[in-house]
Structure 1
Amino acid sequence: MTNPRYPAKPRPGDQVAVLSPSSGLPGLFPVPYELGLRRLQDDFGVKAVEYPTTRKMGATPGERAADIHAAFADPAIKAVIASIGGDDQITVLPRLDAGILRANPKPFFGYSDNTNLLLFLRDLGIVGYHGGSVMAELGRPGAMHPMTAQSFRAALFTSGEYELTPASTSGDINRPWQDPRTFDSEPDMEPAGGWSWHNGDRVVEGISWGGNLEIISWLLMAGRAVGPPDAYAGNVLFLETSEELPRAEEVYRILRNMGERGLLEQFPALLMGRAKSWSFERPLGPEEKSQFRRQQREAVLRALARYAPDTMVVFDVDLGHTDPQLVIPVGGRIRVDGPARRIVVTY
């Protein structure tokens, strides 16, 4: 992908599709979902259009693919936004009609399991947007985080450069969606500590590729949405991990296998998202959270030392499963300026 194809952006008053390409969780947890829909309307001025599987748990891959086709093919729909992620979107990919999507490019927003569709679109030459789900970011308890809202607004409505900045505080401890009291106040935050740079002695500018690390590992295993390694030469890699909290050794193994494939060495720069370090299954305390993040960073550096020792890395970027969350273009341009400690994306 050498010449990114940025789809036309919507304007306030336009219709946007809200889909569930992975899981119909809006049907189980309507409170954060409907809060997110209200904010789309009230704060961003767009009209959300739901589809047959948006609130349907257990929808088949064919049904979910049909919703994707319908949303992209409808000329009245100006953007497509995922309700939430999941773990089954890989089964939708073989049912997608590339011709429909290529002929009707639109901005698509999502992350986590939506890495599947984002990289599928990228292979068609269409820039997508990693971030901005309806239930998690738009449906955040209390209020949208201002940094998230600003980044999402810029990516949704504008074209051109947007400079990312590090958050002063961040949070990754969730409260249960089924408890109405969850939505009475904003989530607790803690000092973020800024970004950390490795090999930050140059400027790298290139087309972006990446997403959720666990999903990318599945795509590699299934042989989908990943081309020959040299197709990514000079690209900017971005990665993040999910609430499943993969062990540092698993992160290393995935990156090692990317290295063995000849993929890791293609990227002169890597943006590594701030690792989510808490889940309902593993409610880590402050010291455990810090240790988890440190061990993940060490795993990334160990893999790079073996396969791509010259790669520049920025750790703890607020992308992916983070609060706040910065939207990252997939297949769009990113400039990583090590000496100036700046990251600029093109929306």
Structure 2
Amino acid sequence: MGVGGGGCEPVHPGNRWRGRSRRDWLTCVIIHRRPPKPSPGDHVALVSPSSGLPGILPLPFELGSRRIAEDFGLIPVEYPTTRRMNAAPADRAADLHAAFSDPRIKAVICSIGGDDLITVLPHLDPEVFRAHPKPFFGYSDSTVMHAYLSRLGIASYYGGAVMTDFGRGGRIHPEVERSLRAALFQSGEYELLPETDIAEVDRDWADPASLETEPDTTPTGGWRWHHADRVVTGTGWGGCLEVVSWMLMADKAVPATADLTGAVLFFETTEELPPAVEVYRMLRNMGERGWLAACGALLMGRPKCWSFDHLNDEAARARYLADQNAAVMRAMTEYAPETPVVLNVNFGHTDPNLVLPYSGPIRVDGPARRLTVTY
């Protein structure tokens, strides 16, 4: 049934590719149902299926909500748990049901991530989402909902949280705004561009001054390509590496290995800065499951290298980046030694955070060093 199974027949079901050569399935494209896009003037839901952090730190949430209205021309709608910390999983599920079933709502955008969206899954009614598919935006713990929708045959968009992306200090990053506008309002191919500078050090969201100016940035070396000798087009699947590992342990919302044949996997890590050895182990375990050998390519997000719990100086950040890159390549060398890998791609817990299509086509053009997605 394609990546994650679900109710939509893919162009090339994964089982047609079993037994064929690697070269045969490098151009396999599995199409999920892409819900209709909003237009300026439409209503969009702002939800907190993971953490109700807007209730504690309202400033970036309100800034992001205002930009959604003023800069994007959309009408934001909040729900009972949008600003409620520690809301019951059943209540958060009720908000998702309400947002998706309301005919006024044309897209659903997460406020931020968290760590327990997986507890919401048992309270979700799949028929609500099948009957009322909407574009869904978010990252980090929102991985759970992306994977859930993927299992139902519904494509979504990895990125675009209210507090971090829309509510960024000073202004939305120009490349992120361009990516968000394309994902929200347009259809067709879109080329992702490597960043030249990144913002690594966070600021205090409780301080109004932190939102008045853009964060400081540092130059970056861009993406790193390995085995870039071919063009791979496949369906994107992945998200936050730690969250995917939780989903695997709970056996919830994860696809069968055969359904990842030819897929473009994408993973990134959180502000908790998992040690390189843990990154290797998580990928190793996916390798033991057969995921790494099955995929057509791997994109690894540029890792977050600083947090309020890890006050790394520039040298420590460089070491963390190098150690994580080495861990990723160790796992890929052991389980998928010929698979194209692109490291330090600007998505996930990084600034800028570009939008990736979840269960949508991604083209990895190794010889040209280009990444093209289809929104």
The alignment's TM-score, normalised by the length of structure 1, stands at 0.99
Which of the residues 312, 329, 334 maps onto 2:362?
A: 334
Q: Deviations over 1:257-277 (max 9, x none)?
A: 111111221112011101110
Q: Deviations over 1:269-317 (max 9, x none)?
A: 0111011100000010101101100000100011111111111011111
| 1:199 equivalent in structure 2 | 227
Out of 55-64 and 174-183, give the one that drifted further: 174-183
Query: Is the contact made by 1:268 and 1:310 (CA closer than 8 Å) also made in structure 2?
Result: no
Which of the residues 146, 149, 166 maps onto 1:121?
A: 149
Which of the residues 174, 177, 181 maps onto 2:209?
A: 181
SS at match of 1:204: strand
Query: Is the contact made by 1:174 and 1:279 (CA closer than 8 Å) also made in structure 2?
Result: yes
1:172-251 to structure 2, matched below 5 A, reads: 172-251=200-279
Query: Is the contact made by 1:165 and 1:343 (CA closer than 8 Å) also made in structure 2?
Result: yes
Task: In structure 1, give the amino acid aligned to 2:326.
Answer: E
Query: Is the contact made by 1:265 and 1:307 (CA closer than 8 Å) also made in structure 2?
Result: yes
Counterpart check, 1:275 vs 2:300: no
User: What number of residue pairs does the alignment pair up?
Assistant: 347
1:38-187 to structure 2, matched below 5 A, reads: 38-187=66-215
CA shift, 1:231, in A, is 1.0
> What is the distance in 2 between the residues matched to 1:138 and 1:208?
23
Task: In structure 2, give the amino acid aligned to 1:44.
Answer: F
Task: In structure 2, give the amino acid aligned to 1:5.
Answer: R
Q: Deviations over 1:88-139 (max 9, x none)?
A: 1010011111111011110000000000000100111111101000001111
Task: In structure 2, give the amino acid aligned to 1:129.
Answer: Y
1:284-303 to structure 2, matched below 5 A, reads: 284-303=312-331
| Divergent runs of 4+, >6 A | none
> What is the distance in 2 between the residues matched to 1:300 and 1:34?
37
SS at match of 1:187: coil
> What is the distance in 1 between the residues matched to 2:238 and 2:248?
12
CA shift, 1:184, in A, is 2.2
SS at match of 1:321: coil
The alignment's TM-score, normalised by the length of structure 2, stands at 0.92
> What is the distance in 2 between the residues matched to 1:184 and 1:53?
27
> What is the distance in 2 between the residues matched to 1:58 and 1:239?
27
SS at match of 1:220: helix
Query: Is the contact made by 1:36 and 1:139 (CA closer than 8 Å) also made in structure 2?
Result: yes
SS at match of 2:239: strand
SS at match of 1:79: strand
> Gaps (5+ residues) in structure 1?
none
> What is the distance in 2 between the residues matched to 1:103 and 1:235?
26
Q: Deviations over 1:145-178 (max 9, x none)?
A: 1011110111011111000010111112101111
Task: In structure 2, give the amino acid aligned to 1:60.
Answer: A
CA shift, 1:233, in A, is 0.3
> What is the distance in 2 between the residues matched to 1:183 and 1:231?
43
> What is the distance in 2 between the residues matched to 1:203 and 1:263?
19
> What is the distance in 2 between the residues matched to 1:203 and 1:156?
27
CA shift, 1:227, in A, is 2.2
> What is the distance in 2 between the residues matched to 1:191 and 1:277?
14
Query: Is the contact made by 1:272 and 1:314 (CA closer than 8 Å) also made in structure 2?
Result: yes
> What is the distance in 2 between the residues matched to 1:91 and 1:310?
37
Identity %: 58
Which of the residues 288, 291, 306 maps onto 1:263?
A: 291
SS at match of 1:48: strand
Task: In structure 2, give the amino acid aligned to 1:321.
Answer: H
> What is the distance in 2 between the residues matched to 1:74 and 1:55?
20
